[in-house]
Chain A
Amino acid sequence: MSGGLEKTGHHYFSLIEAVGRMGLFLLQCLFRAATPPVKLYPVVQQIHFIGARSSWVVVTAGLFTGMVVALQFYDTLVRFGSVDLLGSAVALSLIRELGPVITALMVTGRAGSAICAEIGIMRISEQIDALECMGIDPYRFFLTPKLLAGLVAVPVLTILFDLAGLVGGWFVGVVLFGVGEGTYVQGLRGGIEWNDVAMGLVKSIVFGGLIVWFCAAKGYFLHYERAGAFGPEGVSRVTTNAVVLSSVSVLFADYLIGSLML
C-alpha cells in the first residue's frame, strides 16, 4: 500500500523534473538564438532536412484535404443555394484550421520522428558527449538551428499545403461539380481577411516550434528516461513518445490559439 503511494510520489517527482528539463531546454535554445554567434548555414541545412522529408507528403495531403472539404461544403451549400460561397468556405477552413494542423501532424510524423531518433542515437553513441568534450556547445551547434528551422519550415510547408488544398478544392468544385471558375476564385478572394491569414501563420509558427522542441528534447534527454531505456529500444520508445507528445500538444495549442484569436 505505502509502496504504491511511494511509487506514485516518485512518478510525480520525476514528471516535474522532466517538465523542468524540457522548459530549460527551450530557454537554452532561445537564449542561443538571441545571442551571437548565430550561424545561418546550419539553419538552412535543417530547413532543407525538414522540407525534403515533408514537402511531398504535405502537398499530397493538402490536395486530398482540399478535395474532401470542397466535396463536403458543396453538398451542404447546394441545399441552401449558396454555392458561390464554396471558394471562401474552402479557403477559410484550410487557412485557419486544417492547413496548420494537418501540416504539423505530417511534419511530426516525417521530420519530428527523424529528429528525435537522430538525436537519441547521438546521445547513446556518445556523440553529444564528444561535442561537449571538444568544447562545442550542443545547443549552439545543432539544437538551436533545428528549432529555428522548425519555426521557418513549418509555416512554409503550411502555405504549400494551403495552395495544394485550394487547387484540390478548385478541382472538385469547378471541374467535377461545375461551379463557375469566376465564382470560386471570387469567393476565395473576397472571403479571406488578413486576420484569417495571421491566425494560420501564428498557428504554424507555434506548431513548428512545438514539434522541434518536443522531438529534439526527448531525444536529447534520452539518458534521463527510466533505467534500462538506454540503447536502441530506448531510441524507439522515446521517438514514439515524442510523436505522441508533439501531436497532442499541436492539437491543444490549436484550440488555445483559436480561442484567443477568434
Chain B
Amino acid sequence: MNAHRHSSDTVVEVEHLVTHYGERKILDGINLRIRQGEIMAIMGGSGAGKSTLLRHILGLSPPTRGAIRLLGREMTGLRSKELYAIRRKIGVAFQGGALLTSMTVGENVALPLREHTRLDRSTIRIMTRLKLEMVNLSRAENLMPAQLSGGMLKRAALARAIIMDPAVLFFDEPSSGLDPISAVELDEMILRLKQAMNMTIVVVTHELQSVLTIADRITILGGGRIIMTGTVDEVRNSRDEYIRLLLDRKPRTDTESGESYLRRLTDGP
C-alpha cells in the first residue's frame, strides 16, 4: 500500500515540515524520524513549537508544506475514517490532561475501550482499574477531573492514553509543573511502559533532568528548526551554543547595543 521507501522500523517520519499560525511561521523545514521502540525526547524552550510539531504529527492541524507519515501512512489528505483508524493505534497525553470534564476519571480512562471494543462492562472496569493502578490513581476512579491536582491530571491522562495498549505513545510535557517526586515517578512509569510493552514513546518536554534519564535520543528545536537530533551522549557532548545554554541552564547572553534595545521597546511589532 505504501511503497514509499518506508522502512518498517520507522514509526514517525516528518519531512520538510513548514507550518504557520496565521501569517506567523512557527516551524520551518523540520525533518524527523522516530524509530520503533525508542524513547524520543523533543526538547526546546517554551514557545519553540514543540506542541505544534506534535499536533502536526497527530494530524490535528494541516501543515503548510511537507510530509508526515505515522505508522507508515501519509497523514495529509487522509479521509477522516482512515485517520481515526490510525489514531486508535496511538495514545496521546496532552499538556493539560484534556480529560472530558463531564465524566469521572474512571469513565475517561474507559472511554476508548467503550467506544472501540465490544468488551463487557466488568472487563472494561477491570482493565480501567489496572491502568489507574499503574499510575497510582486507583483511589481517584470516581472523582471528577475538576477535583484532581495538576499532577494527578497528567497521570490520569497517561492512563487513558495507554488503555488501548498503543503502539506509539505521545506525551506532551509529562513532568512540567510537577513536584520533583511526582516527576521522577512519572519518568519511571514511562521507562516501565517502554520495557514492559515495547512501546515507542515520544516525549515533549523542556525538563532537562527528565530527558537525560529516560530518552534514547533527543531532538532539539529552536527558532522553528531542528538544531540537533542525536543520542543523549551526542547531545551532551555537543558544542552548539544554544544546546550548551539549554544543558547548562544559563540565561541567554545576547549582546545587544543599547540603541537597538531602545528601538525594540519603542517600535511596534
Contact = CB atoms under 8 A, between A and B. Distances in A.
A72 interface: no
B96 A126 contact: yes
A83 interface: no
A129 B94 contact: yes
A136 B98 contact: no
Contact of B22 (A121, A133, A135, A227): A227
A236 B219 CA distance: 38
Contact of B60 (A125, A133, A134, A135): A133
Contacts of A227: 21-22
Most chain B CB within 10 A, of A121, A125, A127, A133, is at A133
B55 A125 contact: no
B85 A135 contact: yes
Contact of A135 (B21, B95, B99, B116): B116
A197 interface: no
Interface in B47-77: 55, 58, 60
Interface of B is mostly: mixed
A125 B94 CA distance: 9
Contacts of B150: none
A135 B87 contact: yes
A135 B84 contact: yes
A133 B99 contact: no
Contacts of A125: 96, 98, 101
Contacts of B99: 127, 130
A134 B89 CA distance: 9
Contacts of B84: 132, 135-137
B267 interface: no
B37 interface: no
A127 B98 contact: yes
Contacts of B102: 118
Contacts of A134: 87-88, 92, 111-112, 115, 160
B80 interface: yes
B150 to A, nearest CB: 13
B32 interface: no
Nearest to A49: B102
Contacts of A135: 84-88, 112, 115-116
B100 interface: yes
A177 B203 CA distance: 76
B105 interface: no
A126 B22 contact: no
Given A125-B98, A135-B85, A135-B87, A130 B92 contact: yes
Interface in B138-171: 157, 160
A73 B207 CA distance: 74
B115 A126 contact: no
Nearest to B21: A227
Contact of B87 (A122, A127, A133, A141): A133
Given A132-B60, A133-B87, A135-B88, A121 B101 contact: yes
Given A130-B157, A133-B92, 10 more contacts: A122-B100, A125-B96, A126-B98, A127-B99, A127-B101, A130-B92, A130-B98, A135-B86, A135-B115, A137-B80
Interface of A: 118, 121-122, 125-127, 129-137, 141, 227
Q: Which 9 A-B pairs have the closest CB atoms?
A: A130-B98, A135-B88, A126-B98, A133-B92, A135-B87, A135-B84, A126-B94, A134-B112, A127-B98
15 contacts: A118-B102, A122-B100, A126-B98, A129-B60, A129-B94, A131-B100, A133-B58, A133-B87, A133-B90, A134-B111, A134-B115, A135-B84, A141-B115, A227-B21, A227-B22
